Structure 1
Amino acid sequence: MTGGKYVVGPYRGLFDGPGVKGFVLAGFIGRMPMSMLGIGIVLLITALTESYAMAGAVAATTNLAFAVAAPLSGRLVDRFGQARVIVPFAVVNALALAGLMLCARLDLPQWTLYAAGLLVGATSLSLGSMVRARWSALHGGSARLHTAFAFESVADEVIFVTGPALVTVLATAINPYAGLLVALVSMLGGSLALAAQRRTQPPVRADRGGGGGTPILIPGIALLSCVYLALGAVFGSVDLITVAFAEEEGVKGAAGFLLAAFAGGSMVSGLWFGSRRWRISLRGRFVRALGVFAVGLLPIAFIGDARVMAVALFMAGLAISPTLITGFSLTERLVPSSLLTEGMAWISTSIGLGVSIGAWAGGRLTEAFGASNAYGFALAAAAVAVVVGVGGSGLLRIPDAASPGKP
């Protein structure tokens, strides 16, 4: 009981400020599609065309378009404010997704699916970055921000646990369009609700750092982007390979449970990590979390039982949230306030791009060598993340003077 109070205590009062509950809820609903879109597209196109190759290619086109466009839309948000960017992007994104479904329904030429998928990805907003920017505007430079980022990391894990399961049930039990329709409504409703809450919107600040450049040119942000690209490859490959592993073990229906164990470990650690008041520097926490994550992954390549694998994935997942939380916290400290949304979008898009690469590589390696051997790719990607993160950790030292516009 005492332990529960210790964990929950720091979160008390976090949502008491004016408008806080509103933007947290809107942001959560609005970014549900980030875990639903890819699998929803695959389920729809395969149901109509029976072509996994085409379905995967359209989903990859959407993911890559988002990876390229997210930092650009983040820059627009920093320059013009969240509300002025969210509304037109959300409306066009909804129309593009509706167009994709219509193209599939009418059996239009394949290029129309790719074109619609490209537009869907290009107009998808990184709402998680915008919500974190609102937290930064409220609690920048305080211990509260660490707790807020921990909560957002847990929220992301909840989305990644529930989203794929929800869209799969809707697409298979109701009709192939149902999952994407729910994703469309969630995105549009949550995005417009977030845009309407201007009271908590971060103020638009002129760049007083001189030059008005892009955050990716900041050495520490470039380093973090490389690390999270590798970590995204871990996430993408583990998700795909684990489904194949469950099928190889004759328990395909347990694949969702295994993936939930991976995300569940991250949720548990996120709540605990956010409840702590740390004496170790952000850089120190980041390096340690990376190392623990890589070591925690090692057993999965040597397990041949689904029940043991569930435990191993849960343990490996324990280091995910601490790594993400410290990465976003470092970004908040390294990037000028005038470029904060774009800076966080670079981190999110690096993860997303890594997930696409990991899923592609994991699929190829699984077909060629089997699921257990394919896990070696995830281990190699984690090792790359550790080498890059630890080797370049000097770039993550927080300057004595706060970034412009920050405490």
Structure 2
Amino acid sequence: MANPYRELLTTPGVMGLVIASSIARLPHAMIGIGIITMLVQHTGLYWLAGAVAGTFTLANALIGPRVSKLVDQRGQSRVLPLVTAFSVGMLLALILAVYLSAPVVLLFILAALAGMMPSMPAMIRARWTQLFRGKPQLHTAFSLDTVLTELAFIIGPPIAIGLSTSFFAEAGPLAAVVLLIIGVTAFLLQRQTEPKVVVSSSKSTGSTLFIPGVRTIVVALLVMGVIGGSIDVAVVAFANEQGWPASASFILAAYALGSLITGLTFGMLRLTLSIEKQFLAGVLVTAVTGVLPIFSADVYILAGMLFVAGSSFAPTMVIVMNLGSIIVPSSRITEGLTWMTTGISTGVALGGVLAGLVIDVYGARAGFGVGIVAGVVLVVVVLLGMRILRAAPAMYPEATVQ
């Protein structure tokens, strides 16, 4: 049996795309935590650090789809250099402002402006879609992409924190800025895989959120993000309650490892089940396995439970991206993929907040209850949207043409 990954990586232009995209996606995993660590080191104020980083994240979530829409209309090579240069300038200004102890209001303004940073995960997935839309290789490509994204969020935050705590406070964010410049430059040099600008056959200029099925996907991803975000916070609280705070690192590593292994394995499969049924199956498994952590008696059992729970995450993400590539027309694919990325990142932030509130009142174990409730909501959202998801590809025939 042929190895799908070997077949994928030997496609002209793909190896360069994989290497460049691996660098380009790292800053997204580093900047938020880098801002937090930098401000805590300088001010000791966790609320300020969280608020400034949250402002950057929120601005990026709101501005990102607009930037991606412009990319769909003008092309990556014309838009990305400009928005990246602007974002880099604002991030450097923010770092300087923190160093100089500038007024707090300036920090918020610069963080919001830095949110112009392009959604590189969406830019990367747009290239995969351009290369393999309608082909079985797209499934493998999205599996590899999901695994590489997981690795970025495993590697990136410790690098940012380690640099800021070991050298100087600004080192983490500065490294993220340098990687952003290198990553985007290397990415843009991969001209062979750059998507062509597609002129839509329709006159619609509204948001891709109005495309039937997209809102269902974005809301589902938001709820999946709530599950992940609540687990992150609950694990830290549980480890503290058990008297072993450092164990949170290997517990969360087990969660990510489960996702990585199944993500790579899933990319080798060729499923005959319809994409909508795959989506429903994925969210059902996510909801059921999300119940497991609350039954953990100690950190070792929790690590095992989360390894199992994490095994559904990457495959479900792959299915969602495949579904999005079918529903969203070629002329609007980057914007659509950006809304999906926005959905899950917003959910992670919301899940962390909700879990924190519950844990403060009811304790660490109750924090896992947020993920359980979110799992039920996830299943309901997908069931309610199933009819629209089945009909969506037929309503947008452009989406099925490569």
After superposition, give the CA deviation of every residue in 1:197-248 in whole Å (9 maximum; x if it has no partner).
Answer: 2221100011113323321101200110111111111111211221121111
The residue number in structure 2 matching 1:394 is 387
CA contact (8 A) 2:223 2:378 kept: yes
Q: What secondary structure sits across from 2:341 in the alignment?
A: helix
Q: What secondary structure sits across from 1:107 in the alignment?
A: coil
Q: What secondary structure sits across from 2:27 in the alignment?
A: helix
Out of 85, 92, 104, the residue aligned to residue 98 of structure 1 is: 92
Out of 167, 170, 173, the residue aligned to residue 166 of structure 2 is: 173
CA RMSD of aligned residues (A): 1.5
Q: What secondary structure sits across from 1:12 in the alignment?
A: helix
After superposition, give the CA deviation of every residue in 1:89-118 in whole Å (9 maximum; x if it has no partner).
Answer: 111111111111111111111011111111
Indicate the larger mover: 102-111 or 241-250.
Answer: 241-250
Residue 339, structure 1, aligned to residue 332, structure 2: yes
Residues in 1 aligned to 2:153 and 2:316: alpha-carbon distance in whole angstroms: 17
Aligned length: 400
After superposition, give the CA deviation of every residue in 1:58-111 in whole Å (9 maximum; x if it has no partner).
Answer: 111111111111111110110000011110111111111111111111111101
The residue number in structure 1 matching 2:15 is 21
The residue number in structure 1 matching 2:49 is 55
Aligned residue runs from structure 1 range 211-290, under 5 A = 211-290=204-283
Structure 2 unmatched ranges of 5 or more: none
Structure 2 residue identity aligned to 1:406: V
Residues in 2 aligned to 1:254 and 1:35: alpha-carbon distance in whole angstroms: 21
Structure 1 residue identity aligned to 2:179: S
CA contact (8 A) 1:86 1:192 kept: no
Give the structure-2-normalised TM-score: 0.96
Aligned residue runs from structure 1 range 31-42, under 5 A = 31-42=25-36
Give the direction of change, closer, same or farther, for the CA distance of 1:84–1:405 in structure 2 (3 Å limit).
Answer: farther
Structure 2 residue identity aligned to 1:210: K
The residue number in structure 1 matching 2:300 is 307
Aligned residue runs from structure 1 range 98-137, under 5 A = 98-121=92-115, 123-137=116-130
Identity over aligned residues, as a percent? 37
CA contact (8 A) 1:261 1:313 kept: yes
Residues in 2 aligned to 1:350 and 1:192: alpha-carbon distance in whole angstroms: 27
> What is the CA distance between 1:378 and its match in structure 2?
1.5
Structure 1 unmatched ranges of 5 or more: 1-5
Residues in 2 aligned to 1:162 and 1:262: alpha-carbon distance in whole angstroms: 14
Residue 403, structure 1, aligned to residue 398, structure 2: yes
> What is the CA distance between 1:13 and its match in structure 2?
2.3
CA contact (8 A) 2:393 2:400 kept: no
Q: What secondary structure sits across from 2:346 in the alignment?
A: helix
Residue 10, structure 1, aligned to residue 9, structure 2: no
CA contact (8 A) 1:209 1:336 kept: no
Residue 154, structure 1, aligned to residue 133, structure 2: no
After superposition, give the CA deviation of every residue in 1:274-318 in whole Å (9 maximum; x if it has no partner).
Answer: 100101011111100100011101021121300110011110000
The residue number in structure 2 matching 1:3 is none
CA contact (8 A) 1:209 1:404 kept: no
Residues in 1 aligned to 2:258 and 2:400: alpha-carbon distance in whole angstroms: 36
The residue number in structure 1 matching 2:287 is 294
After superposition, give the CA deviation of every residue in 1:326-349 in whole Å (9 maximum; x if it has no partner).
Answer: 111111000110000001011001
The residue number in structure 2 matching 1:141 is 134
Residues in 1 aligned to 2:331 and 2:206: alpha-carbon distance in whole angstroms: 10
Indicate the larger mover: 149-158 or 195-204.
Answer: 195-204
CA contact (8 A) 2:237 2:364 kept: yes
Out of 53, 60, 63, the residue aligned to residue 66 of structure 1 is: 60
Residues in 1 aligned to 2:120 and 2:75: alpha-carbon distance in whole angstroms: 13
Residues in 1 aligned to 2:341 and 2:154: alpha-carbon distance in whole angstroms: 18
Give the structure-1-normalised TM-score: 0.95
The residue number in structure 1 matching 2:203 is 210
> What is the CA distance between 1:402 and its match in structure 2?
3.9
Structure 1 residue identity aligned to 2:8: L
The residue number in structure 2 matching 1:323 is 316
